[in-house]
């Protein structure tokens, strides 16, 4: 009799009636063959594997993470409420100890969605992992969270949301940004001045195989996780590193994904990208489920899998090793770098331009962070788009000190007086507000 070593919860929500457009990679058919495989393998009958029906997230759950412009209702479709809700359901099942681990097999994905949202980027509108994590932080006594993003694309949205949060360790493994969307995610992107070191980027060269991925996990990710000591580990389980994926250039496999999951042992995995819907997803998802449940996955093999053909070139291995060494050295010196940055400034400012490829919007942001010795600092974002929308958003972090909290309200009121659209996230009070919105 087949029995799971770890009680594993699954939310399966393939959204069979939702697509970005009929032939878009993010379409109805995407998880069809995965569902067929999961059903045919009888996975849901395995003793210790339990399927949960997804709930819907609330508007407040979304506001806790995002500044949606003009508002949540305009940014999210039903499908987004359910896919974020699926992640939330799994998070609760794990925290309530109904299961040891959980996997939200949901779509649409979320890891390109940043804190301010004017539209869809990289097939994502809202960040489903962040919505889940911030809900869990509100509802359960957890503080330190680690997110390991194994999607082939840099998780720039998740990085943005946790850029200034020293309690969240964000590690992204992805195809080198010089060769793939969104073009970011280099090792020198290490987090904001009050959270330096807790953002970690590990770009991997095209044609990285099982060897390279497992090297990165074993030699770099796991030691850092051990140092950080998170309360929970979340895996943003994108599946587009597969050798058959149509929009990327990696050489990973179903066996490799299962082995990676086994090594990482995440408490919660959330599906992200992956668009080889026939040749890869059914097998990778099966592998991840079995690995999470602690069941033998050695006989999973996708068609056309030939480990010989996918063997990694020595120069790729050397490159991965060098990058790993640099990341570890940055990690070990993070306190030094942090004090160096903090010594010199009272406020930190950064200006950047963000492109929403799915909705063709260009956004300009100026971010101002108070560098505070008592907390991670209050944050203000002045955001405007080429469509003529401008907002001023104020984020008061969960463990903000009184000074930062007061400054946050000063900023918010000042914007209000100037009749600028003003958005507020008061995390200590779990209070969210919008004023002067006239678009």
Q: Are 319 and 312 in contact (CB under 8 A)?
A: no
Nearer to another protein, 246 or 309 (CB): 246
Task: Examine residue 353 and tell whether it contacts another protein (CB under 8 A).
Answer: no
Using the rule CB under 8 A, give the single segment among 134-142, 163-171, 275-283, 356-364 that binds another protein.
275-283
Angle at 164 between CA 160 and CA 166, to 5 degrees: 120
Using the rule CB under 8 A, give the single segment among 30-38, 63-71, 168-176, 259-267 that binds another protein.
30-38
For residue 205, which of 224, 218, 186, 225 has the smallest C-alpha distance? 186
CB-count burial class (<10 Å; 0-12, 13-18, 19+) for 419? exposed
Site residue total, another protein (CB under 8 A) = 47
Map the footprint of another protein across residues 58-97, applying CB under 8 A: 78-79, 82
What's the distance, CA 240 to chain centroid? Answer: 14
Interface characters, 32-51, with another protein (x: CB under 8 A): xx-xxx-xxxxx-x-----x
Task: Examine residue 52 and tell whether it contacts another protein (CB under 8 A).
Answer: yes
Neighbours of 333 (CB within 10 A): 13
* CA–CA dist 134, 247 (Å, integer): 31
Nearer to another protein, 81 or 170 (CB): 81
Cis omega before residue 43 (within 30°)? no
Shortest approach of another protein to residue 270 CB, angstroms?
Answer: 17
Of these, 6, 14, 186, 435, which contacts another protein (CB under 8 A)?
Answer: 14
Nearer to another protein, 226 or 308 (CB): 308
Q: Are 140 and 116 in contact (CB under 8 A)?
A: no
Shortest approach of another protein to residue 3 CB, angstroms?
Answer: 9
Of these, 13, 103, 123, 181, which contacts another protein (CB under 8 A)?
Answer: 13
Interface characters, 380-419, with another protein (x: CB under 8 A): ----------------------------------------
Of these, 96, 296, 406, 433, which contacts another protein (CB under 8 A)?
Answer: 296
**Helix, strand or coil, per DSSP, at residue 44:** helix
Of these, 5, 246, 360, 433, which contacts another protein (CB under 8 A)?
Answer: 246
Q: Is 112 a catalytic residue?
A: yes
**Residue with tokens 């179903």, as numbered in its chain:** 254
* CA–CA dist 239, 248 (Å, integer): 10
Shortest approach of another protein to residue 14 CB, angstroms?
Answer: 5
User: What does each C-alpha distance from 214 to 270, 279, 346 come to in angstroms?
Assistant: 19, 22, 41
CB-count burial class (<10 Å; 0-12, 13-18, 19+) for 3? exposed
Exposure on the CB side of residue 199, measured as CA atoms within 13 A:
26
User: What does each C-alpha distance from 373 to 102, 189, 209, 266 come to in angstroms?
Assistant: 37, 22, 43, 32
Nearer to another protein, 61 or 134 (CB): 61
Shortest approach of another protein to residue 6 CB, angstroms?
Answer: 16
Using the rule CB under 8 A, give the single segment among 19-27, 230-238, 260-268, 376-384 that binds another protein.
19-27
Identified catalytic residue from 111, 112, 153, 164: 112
Task: Examine residue 5 and tell whether it contacts another protein (CB under 8 A).
Answer: no
Quickly list H helices, 96-206.
128-139, 156-161
Shortest approach of another protein to residue 56 CB, angstroms?
Answer: 8
Supply 414's token pair: 């000042």
Nearer to another protein, 52 or 228 (CB): 52
The residue ranges that bind another protein (CB under 8 A) are 1-2, 11-18, 22-23, 27-29, 32-33, 35-37, 39-43, 45, 51-54, 78-79, 82, 246, 278, 282-283, 286, 290, 295-296, 298-303
Catalytic residues, which ones? 112
């Amino acid at each position: 009799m087949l029995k799971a070593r770890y009680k594993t919860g699954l939310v399966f929500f393939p959204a069979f009636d939702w697509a970005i457009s009929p032939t878009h990679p993010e379409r109805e058919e995407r998880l069809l063959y995965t569902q067929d495989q999961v059903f045919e393998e009888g996975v849901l009958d395995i003793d210790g594997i339990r399927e949960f029906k997804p709930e819907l997230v609330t508007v407040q759950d979304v506001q806790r993470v995002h500044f949606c412009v003009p508002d949540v209702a305009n940014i999210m479709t039903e499908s987004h409420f359910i896919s974020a809700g699926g992640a939330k359901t799994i998070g609760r099942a794990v925290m309530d100890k109904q299961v040891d681990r959980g996997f939200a097999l949901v779509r649409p994905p979320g890891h390109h969605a940043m804190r301010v949202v004017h539209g869809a980027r990289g097939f994502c509108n809202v960040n489903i992992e962040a919505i889940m994590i911030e809900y869990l932080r509100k509802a359960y006594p957890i503080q330190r969270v680690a997110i390991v993003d194994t999607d082939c694309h840099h998780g720039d949205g998740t990085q943005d949301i946790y850029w200034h949060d020293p309690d969240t360790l964000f590690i992204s493994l992805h195809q080198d940004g010089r060769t793939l969307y969104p073009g970011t995610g280099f090792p020198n992107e290490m987090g904001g001045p009050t959270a330096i070191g807790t953002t970690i980027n590990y770009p991997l060269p095209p044609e990285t195989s099982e060897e390279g991925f497992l090297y990165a996990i074993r030699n770099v990710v796991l030691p850092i996780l051990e140092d950080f000591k998170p309360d929970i580990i979340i895996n943003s389980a994108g599946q587009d590193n597969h050798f058959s994926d149509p929009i990327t250039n990696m050489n990973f496999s179903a066996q490799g994904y299962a082995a990676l999951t086994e090594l990482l042992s995440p408490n919660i995995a959330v599906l992200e990208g992956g668009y080889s819907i026939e040749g890869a997803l059914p097998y990778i998802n099966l592998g991840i489920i079995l690995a999470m449940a602690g069941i033998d996955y050695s006989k999973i093999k996708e068609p056309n899998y030939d480990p010989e053909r996918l063997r990694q070139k020595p120069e790729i291995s050397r490159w991965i090793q060098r990058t790993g060494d640099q990341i570890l050295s940055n990690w070990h010196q993070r306190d030094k770098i942090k004090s160096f940055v903090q010594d010199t400034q009272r406020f930190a400012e950064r200006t950047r331009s963000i492109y929403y490829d799915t909705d063709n919007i260009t956004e300009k942001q100026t971010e101002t962070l108070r560098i505070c010795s008592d907390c991670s600092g209050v944050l203000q974002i002045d955001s405007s788009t080429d469509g003529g929308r401008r907002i001023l958003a104020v984020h008061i972090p969960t463990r903000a000190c009184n000074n930062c909290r007061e400054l946050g309200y000063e900023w918010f009121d000042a914007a209000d007086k100037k009749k600028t659209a003003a958005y507020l996230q008061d995390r200590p009070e779990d209070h969210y507000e919008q004023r002067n919105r006239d678009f």
